[in-house]
Structure formats: C-alpha cells, structure tokens
C-alpha cells in the first residue's frame, strides 16, 4: 500500500475517455496533488470531451474550456483574477494536449512562461492530435504512422523537445513525467505547485487507439519509453540545473517500437537510426545533468 497516496478523487467515474487512456490517469494524479482549491483550464484536446458534455462535469474542481491555443493565456487570466481577489492560495492548472502545447498553443505558453505566471502547466503528451483522429503533431515521434503521415511518408524529423524550449525561457521548474511512475509524477506536480512562478510538466500519456496498442498495455509502453531512454524522466530547475530521476534500464528501442502498431512499418535501418538518435539525446542529457548551473558559478 502506498502510504501517503491521496485517496481523495477529484476526477469522478463516468468520464468519456477511451479504455486505458493515459491522459485520464495524468489528470487523476494531478488533481490528487493539487487538491480541491484548484481551477483548471483546458484547451481543445481529448479532455474537452473526456470531461463530459454540458450540463455535466466529471471533475470536482472548477474547469473552464478554452480555445485551442490559449491554455497558458487562460491560466494567466485566472491567476490574475485570483490574485486580485486575494486568492493567492488557489492553484491554477492548465491541462493541455501536445497539439495545444507544442503546436498551436506554443506562443501563449511562451508568453506566460516569460512573464513567469504562477501557474502549473501540464501537457499530457499522446504524441498526435488524437481527439481529431490521430493526425501528426510536432510531438509525434520520428517515423511514426499517423493518419496524416501514412506509412508511405511517415512523420519526418524528430519530436520537438519542449523542455529545451521552456528551459530556454529560464522557467523555474519543468520536468518530464510518466503515467508509469505515478509517485514521481505526483512528486513533480507537488513541486510544480510549490514553485513560485511557472512550472511545466511534460507527462507522457499513452493513447491505445492512436498508438495501436491494446488498452492494458498503456502503462507497459510508458515504462518501456523510459527504460529505452526514449522518454527519460528528468527535471530542470531554473532552466539550468538538470536532475535525472529514473535510471533507465537501457533496453533497446526495438522493445518499445515493436509493441506498437504505429511503428509496425519500421525496418531494421529505421530501428537502428532511432536507436542512434536516442543514444545521442541521452548523452546530451547526461552531459547537461553534469553541468554546474549558473548560480553555482556566481
């Protein structure tokens, strides 16, 4: 039994997520940490539907649905209003998909981060526009199949590194997290909530229908993503201080790729290429994690 696991459920049953939805698990754990005194803003994404149709709501925190590109701006507005009402203790959670974060919402996210708005921004990354039917986003991994990157021309170019973009803003706190490490995820949400200023969590969230995996494998795939170093779990403080949280087992990427229909067209060279890129990115991350942050040199 996990002793300090918060038992309060602010996400209620009956929500409209698919079987095995990673994004729903992320929401559940975020709210467990943030608690009732939270206002949530959700741009267009799977969660626009998951939360339930009017006049129903599956969350037990106030929630505003906002336009696709506006999660961070909306969160900023809520924060400003709360501050004016003297409700500094109420937390603001922007909860957006990868499309609303990496693509269409990147500008407002950049703006809010640069202003250092006191918000928690959680991007649940299911690596494509899933709600609209599996179209590629800039978070889609290289060579993956989606409906707009069919196997005749799979997704070109590597997945956008959103944490690098945000660390470039000198964001006080940003981190990757995974549904397969719920305690780590919750610890990061807690840190994010306690951060004065903008905190960003990039939460890896498997999508069984979109990735062509069976629903019970959601967590397994997330675990493999970490253990193959495809999605390392780490934190960046003040955009400079890197901390790797989970030592990956270093399994070959093939173990991850071969279990998902979206990669079933890959040949040996593709897998080798992905392995090389993953190894390179891991090396970069390791080197960054060994660098002394700026403030230590002052």
Partner 1 sequence: MKKVLMGNHAASWGARLSKVKMIAAYPITPQTHIVEELSEMCGDGSLDAKFLKVESEHSAMASVISSQSTGVRSFTATSANGLALMHELLHWAAGARLPIVMVNVNRALAPGWNIWVDQGDSLSQRDTGWVQLYVEDNQEVLDSVIQGYRIAEQVNLPVMICYDAFILSHTYEPVDIPDQDLVDKWLPGYQPEHYLNPEKPSAFNGLVMPDNYMEIRYKLHMAHERAKSVTNEVGQSFGETFGRYYGAVEAVECDDAEMVIAISSSATSPARLVIRELRDKGMKIGLLKMRMFRPFPTEEVRAVLKGKSKAVVIDRNCSWGKGGIFADEIKGAISNQEDMPAIYSYITGLGGRSITPDLIHEIVTEVESGEPPAELSVWKGLKQ
Partner 2 sequence: MSEIKTIVYKTVDEVPEFVVSEATMLWNKTGSWRYLRPGYLNKIPPCNQGCPAGNDVEGFIALIGEKKYADAWRLLKEENPFPAVCGRVCYHPCETACNRGQFDHSIGINSLERFASDHAPVGETPQKVKPESGKKVAIVGSGPAGLTAAYHLARMGHETTVYEADEEPGGLMRYGIPEYRLPNSVLDTEIDAIRSLGVKIECNTRIGNDLSWEDLQSFDAIFVAVGVHKNNKLGIENEEIKGVFSGLELLGNITRGKEMVLGDHTVIIGGGNSAIDSARCALRQGSRVTLFYHRSRNEMPAFAEEIYEAEREGLKVHFLRQPVKILAEGGKVSGIRMRQTMLGEPDESGRRRPEPVPGTEFDVQASTIVTAIGESADLDFLPEAVKTEYRRISVNKFTQTSSLSVYAGGDAALEEHNVAEAIGSGKMAACAIDAQLRNSELTESQIIGKTGAVSVSRYLKHGNAHAESPDSNHVVEFKELNINYFEPQARNKAQKLDMNDRMKGFREINLAYPEDMALKEADRCFHCGICTMCDNCYVFCPDVAISRKPKEEWGYDIAMDYCKGCGICVYECPRSAMFMEEEK
- In the complex, the residues that contact partner 2 under the rule CB under 8 A are 1-2, 5, 7, 9, 11-17, 19-22, 24-25, 28, 51-58, 60, 179, 182, 208, 214-220, 223
Residue 110: C-alpha distances to residues 11, 41, 75, 114, 166 (Å): 29, 17, 13, 6, 7
Pairing state between β 234-237 and 241-244: antiparallel
| Nearer residue to partner 2 within complex by CB, 15 or 171 | 15
Stretch that binds partner 1, among 102-110, 191-199, 222-230, 268-276 (CB under 8 A): 102-110
Burial class (CB in 10 A: 0-12, 13-18, 19+), 105: buried
Interface with partner 1, residue 26, by CB under 8 A: no
Q: Please identify, among the stretches 38-46, 139-147, 249-257, 259-267, the one whose residues bind partner 1 according to the rule CB under 8 A.
A: 38-46
Query: Positive or negative, the Cα torsion across 212, 129, 41, 13?
Result: negative
Q: Which is nearer to partner 1, 81 or 284 (CB)?
A: 81
Minimum Å gap between C-beta 16 and partner 1 is 9
> 24 contacts which partner out of partner 1, partner 2, none, CB within 5 to 8 A by kind?
partner 2
Size of the site for partner 1 (CB under 8 A): 45
Handedness of CA 124, 125, 129, 134 (dihedral sign): negative
Three-state secondary structure call for residue 226: helix
Question: Nearest approach, Cβ of 263 to partner 1 (angstroms)?
Answer: 32
Residue written as token pair 């928690």: 120
Q: Kindly state whether residue 24 participates in binding partner 1, applying the rule CB under 8 A.
A: no
228 CA to centre of own chain: 18
Q: From the list 1, 4, 7, 84, which residue makes contact with partner 1 (rule: CB under 8 A)? A: 84
Listed residue (19, 15, 14, 17) closest to 215, CA to CA: 19
**Binding status of residue 275 toward partner 1 by CB under 8 A:** no
Residue 247 Cβ, how far from partner 1 at the closest point, in Å?
38
- Write out the two tokens for 179: 């549904």
Q: Decide if residue 144 touches partner 1 (CB under 8 A).
A: no
| Residues between 150 and 209 that touch partner 1 (CB under 8 A) | none
> Which region among 69-77, 193-201, 210-218, 242-250 touches partner 1 (by CB under 8 A)?
69-77
Phi-psi region of 188 (alpha: psi -120 to 50; beta: other; left: phi over 0): alpha
| Min CB(120)–partner 1 separation in Å | 15
d(CA 190, CA 232): 19
Query: Of 60 and 254, which CB lies nearer to partner 1 in the complex structure?
Result: 60
**200 token code pair:** 């960003």
Q: Residue 281 binds which entry of partner 1, partner 2, none, with Cβ cut-offs from 5 to 8 Å by kind? A: none
Cβ neighbour number for residue 289 with a 10 Å cutoff:
15
User: With respect to partner 2, which residue has the nearer C-beta, 15 or 109?
Assistant: 15
Pairing of strands 38-42, 173-178: unpaired
Pairing of strands 173-178, 91-97: unpaired
User: How many angstroms separate the CA atoms of 282 and 176, rounded?
Assistant: 14
Only one of the segments 31-39, 165-173, 178-186, 256-264 lies at the binding site for partner 1 (rule: CB under 8 A); that segment is 31-39
Binding site for partner 1 (CB under 8 A): 36-39, 41, 48-49, 51-57, 59-67, 69-70, 72-78, 80-85, 90, 107-108, 110-111, 114-115
């Amino acid at each position: 039994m996990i002793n300090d696991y918060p038992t309060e459920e602010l996400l209620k049953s009956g929500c409209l997520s698919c079987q095995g939805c990673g994004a729903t698990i992320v929401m559940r754990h975020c709210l467990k940490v943030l608690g009732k005194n939270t206002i949530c803003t959700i741009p267009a994404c799977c969660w626009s539907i998951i939360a339930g149709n009017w006049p129903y709501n599956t969350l037990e925190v106030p929630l505003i649905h906002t336009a696709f590109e506006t999660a961070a701006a909306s969160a900023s507005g809520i924060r400003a209003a709360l501050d004016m009402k003297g409700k500094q203790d109420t937390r603001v959670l922007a909860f957006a998909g990868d499309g609303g974060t990496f693509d269409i919402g990147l500008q407002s996210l950049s703006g809010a981060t640069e202003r250092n708005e006191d918000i928690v921004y959680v991007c649940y990354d299911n690596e494509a526009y899933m709600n609209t039917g599996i179209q590629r986003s800039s978070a889609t991994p290289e060579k993956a199949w989606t409906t707009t990157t069919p196997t005749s021309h799979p997704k070109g170019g590597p997945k956008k590194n959103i944490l690098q973009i945000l660390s470039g803003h000198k964001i006080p706190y940003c981190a990757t997290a995974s549904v397969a490490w719920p305690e780590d995820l919750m610890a990061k949400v807690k840190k994010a909530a306690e951060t004065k200023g903008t905190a960003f969590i990039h939460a890896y969230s498997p999508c069984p229908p979109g990735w062509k995996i069976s629903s019970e494998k959601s967590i397994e795939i997330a675990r493999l993503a970490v253990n193959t170093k495809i999605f390392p779990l780490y934190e960046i403080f003040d955009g400079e201080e890197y901390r790797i949280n989970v030592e990956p087992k270093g399994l070959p990427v093939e173990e991850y790729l071969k279990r998902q229909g979206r990669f079933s067209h890959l040949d040996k060279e593709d897998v080798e290429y992905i392995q090389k890129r993953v190894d390179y990115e891991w090396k970069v991350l390791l080197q960054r994690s060994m660098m002394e942050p700026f403030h230590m040199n002052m």
